[in-house]
Every structure is written in C-alpha cells, then in structure tokens.
Structure 1
C-alpha cells in the first residue's frame, strides 16, 4: 500500500482540532478517498459507530464501535470501513470523533515541568499506537463529546485531562511491536504544497495557471483535484482564506483598510471592501467598529494562526 505523507495543520489553520464525523463510510475530509497516510500531528480516534479494519504501520486489526486509538507523529495509518458500508443505498452509517494535535502544542513546558513527565513519555510511546480500553475509554469518550462543543481555555484544559488519563491508565496496550518492517517510500501531498504556497503569497495575485504549475498539473486537472480534496473551488478557497486573514488583520488593528486590502492580495481597495461586505455582511470599517464595541470578539474564541 502506497503511503501518503501529508499534514493536517495547514488545512485547518489550528494546532488543536476536534472533528466529529458522520458519514456512510469512514473517510477523512482532507482526502478524496480513504488513503494510507502519515502526518506530524498526533491523532486520537474514537469510533462511535461502524466497523471494518484499521492499519497502523504494519499492523492490521479489526475495529468496531467503541474502538479508541492514540496515534503518534508520522505513524502510517488508515481506518477502512467494512465492504457493506460502501454499497449504494446502504443504510449503514459511520460515526467517529477524531482529534488532531500539533506537536508544537507540547513545547518547553512539557520539557521542564515535572508534572507533565507521564504525558511526555506517553506521547513518545504513541509511535507504536496506543489502544485505550475499559473505563478509561468510557471516561475519555464522554469528555471528547463535551469538548467537541467547547472553545477557549475549557477546551485546552479538557485536552490535557484526556492526555493525562491516557498516560496514567493501566487500561492501555501497544498496537505495534518495537521492530517494524520498512514501509514503502511515501508520496508527498501536493495539496499541502499548494496551500503553503497560497499562504506565503496571499498578498500577491495568484492565477490559476500559476497555482496549477505549483501542483505540477494542468489547469483543468488541478481544478478537479483541488475540489475533490477541499470540496471547494480554488477561487472560493482563496477568497475564504483572504477574508479570514483580513479579519485577523482588522482584529489586530494592523494598518488601515487599504493596507489590509494590499496585504490580502487586493490591488483595488473598493473591490476588497465589496468582497469583504459580501462575505461578512459588513464593510471592513463597520467590522472594525463592531470589534471595538465588543460585538465580534467573543470570550474564548480561538482565531486561526498564520
């Protein structure tokens, strides 16, 4: 099986993300189809409904509702629903809660604070894949369901509690032996290359021809590929990215409206203002005023990092 080397953080603009999935068969929203892949983000998967087989590194095992696994950085993995889930008009449904954690979350604090020793060691061992069982699984499942609707400090605090529970629980086991076979050479994920290029050149005009060349594809092929992976057209995705970045700059009061427009790749300030109002329901000026009045920034709101 060919391995796809990808990243999640550039796709979600966040270091910590909980994805509640309800779909006919298990599939990541970041892939056109289920793929054997690896990424730097740590991943906690809880299967609410569904069954099939999962592959973690070189280990193939069945999974069913209640399956909970913590996977470390760059560990190849895939969850494949049973064949019946892929049949047309199948009444079967898959549900999962998938949590992605960028390793940057665990910086110097985890190196020097003794109370984090068990969590740090558990994260190191997650390269082997960790099954979570028994009462620990039940408690974590309940906390994940609550966390999926929370924001701000409560969400981060809940995450640390879950990691602590995994690290001290005796109801865990490793999936992969210490020695594993050599895996096939990985393919790099061209979508990540494209998205990084877009973010690095957001202040410039980016043509379809230019971005297709970054992906080493023809324009029509690139359009089909991009929409299959992101569920959005390239122009729609680019506009959304620019509008979110514009809101961030306005929130941080980094220059006037014209400065923000140019930083987001718009030569014409009037065109930028029109697009911004269509997207947000307010002009950039009205948006800044509403920020100052406390009508936009809500307590606990987490904004994307760029």
Structure 2
C-alpha cells in the first residue's frame, strides 16, 4: 500500500464531538490538533505511535491524548490486502483542553485537573477496571446527545482522573510540533517502516523516501521524531515481539526472526534495552498475570 497524507480538520475547538469508526481499516494519517482525543478500539489491531511512544494496539485499547501530540494508528498489513473482510471499529471523542476546568470553582479540584492534563499531554493508556467502566460510559455517550452526552463525558473524565490503572506513553518533556510538510514526510517514513519492519531496512531506502541524503535524513528524523531512526525501527520490532510472546507455544527463537531480527544476540540486546528485561523474563511476567 502506498502511503498517502490527508490533511485532517479537527472538530470545533469549543465543542464535544463523538464519532464512530466502522471502516475496512484505520485511515487517518500522522496528525495533531488542538483538542484532547480519547480513542477506544473495539475491533482491529496494529501499531500505534503517540509522540515518541511505539506500541502494538488491539481490541480494548483505550488512549487519551492531549492537544498537539502527534499520533497515528496503523492497522496490520492484512487489513490492506485486497478482498480483506476485516473491519476497524472504534469510538473517538474530541473535547477542548479547558473543558473540565471551566466547570470548577475550587482551587483543589482545579489543581487536580491540571495535574491530570499534564499527564494527558504525554498520552495515557488505561487498562483494568478503568477500561471496563470507560467502555460502559462511552456506550452511554453514544446513546445520547446534548446535555446527557456532556454529563457522561464529565463522569468518564472523573473516572479517568481518579484511576491508577494507566501508563504514560510519550517521554517526559516531549513537545515536538510538526508543520504540514514535515508531518507528511514523517508519516511516510512511519508507514514504510510499519509495513517493512520484518525486512532489512537500509538508510538509503528511507532517506530517498524523504528526498534527503542519509546524513540529512538522520538529523531530520531525530529532530522530528525525538529519537534516532535505528531506535525507532527496533522499538517497532520489539513491540511486535511483545505481542507474539503472548502466544506461549511460539518459541522465542521464532519470535526473534518473525520480528525482523537476524540473530538472537541482537534480539536479546535490543529487547533488554527497550523493555528492561529479557524476552524470557517478559514471557514469565505474562504467565504470572
């Protein structure tokens, strides 16, 4: 599939907007906007990039992202195959950053919300009981409009603010903003790597994709992605490996090669560098969960 860039217009800055996605695959390119965005994936899987964070996503993924945080959700290659009968279904809610503060009149509550929004600026993934409760609240939002929808959103935000079942996504201090031209370039690079991470990816290939020399490309990518290109590729590969490790019958050696690594030495080295544990230790944690 050839990567394409689509300029995305977010809903009005002062409004709460809910949309349901029901498409053959997720099609929104790398983008950012001035609204908070809550995404719940009910069906489909693939890779998600939020700021400088790279992870796999699957049904049940719930992520809240703050304004101007670049992000892209890209389905697994099978979704883009001709005659694929797979579907991507999601619920997305947009709301302005100052929505919650505008309803408060005491300093303690304002401070609590402001602390929460500082976390949202990095992107937050929720899990556990919080995820289950949020899904019910999103269903109620979808059933109503007007004040009832707004009331459910406020109750949902209260649940998320008080939850301790979450992980922060992008790195502390991540604040990269892209112009339209740079966003298009970075989008094309991200998509290319997500489609070819199992293969050998050369610097010349991706540099030519961005119409840059290899040296200029390395500078460009680190400036706009917040990390080196090699780190980004390895993070994608390790994210895929983490997903495969949940199949307890699949040998770790097979996962190594299926994730794009050429030998176990490099696989173990980069896995430990990115996840702070070995593949076997990661699998042991899965067994205990």
Q: TM exceeds 0.5?
A: yes
The equivalent of 1:156 in structure 2 is 150
Q: How big is each residue's C-alpha offset from its partner over 1:264-301, in whole Å with a ceiling of 9 and x where there is no partner? A: xxxxxxxxxxxxxxxxxxxxxxxxxxxxxxxxxxxxxx
CA 1:114–1:16 in structure 2 vs 1: closer, same or farther (change >3 Å)? same
Residue 45 in 1 paired to residue 39 in 2?
Answer: yes
Shift in Å, 1:104: 4.8
CA 1:4–1:90 in structure 2 vs 1: closer, same or farther (change >3 Å)? closer
| Whole-angstrom distance in 2 between the partners of 1:106 and 1:181 | 22
| Whole-angstrom distance in 1 between the partners of 2:156 and 2:110 | 13
The equivalent of 1:202 in structure 2 is none
3-state secondary structure, aligned to 1:128: coil
The equivalent of 1:63 in structure 2 is 57
Do the aligned partners of 1:136 and 1:169 also contact (CA within 8 Å) in 2? Answer: yes
Question: Which residue of the other structure, out of 66, 70, 78, is the alignment partner of 1:76?
Answer: 70
3-state secondary structure, aligned to 1:170: coil
Question: Which residue of the other structure, out of 119, 122, 127, is the alignment partner of 2:121?
Answer: 127
Given the two structures, how large is their TM-score scaled by the length of structure 1?
0.53
Do the aligned partners of 2:22 and 2:90 also contact (CA within 8 Å) in 1? Answer: yes
CA 1:49–1:181 in structure 2 vs 1: closer, same or farther (change >3 Å)? same
CA 1:121–1:164 in structure 2 vs 1: closer, same or farther (change >3 Å)? same
Given the two structures, how large is their TM-score scaled by the length of structure 2?
0.56
Aligned residues: 181
Shift in Å, 1:97: 0.4
Give the superposed CA RMSD: 2.8
CA 1:162–1:121 in structure 2 vs 1: closer, same or farther (change >3 Å)? same
CA 1:109–1:188 in structure 2 vs 1: closer, same or farther (change >3 Å)? farther
Instruction: Give the unaligned 5+ runs of structure 1.
Output: 28-33, 190-306
CA 1:57–1:78 in structure 2 vs 1: closer, same or farther (change >3 Å)? same
Do the aligned partners of 1:48 and 1:65 also contact (CA within 8 Å) in 2? Answer: yes
Instruction: Give the unaligned 5+ runs of structure 2.
Output: 184-289
The equivalent of 2:15 in structure 1 is 15
- For the pair shown, the structure with the greater C-alpha radius of gyration is 1
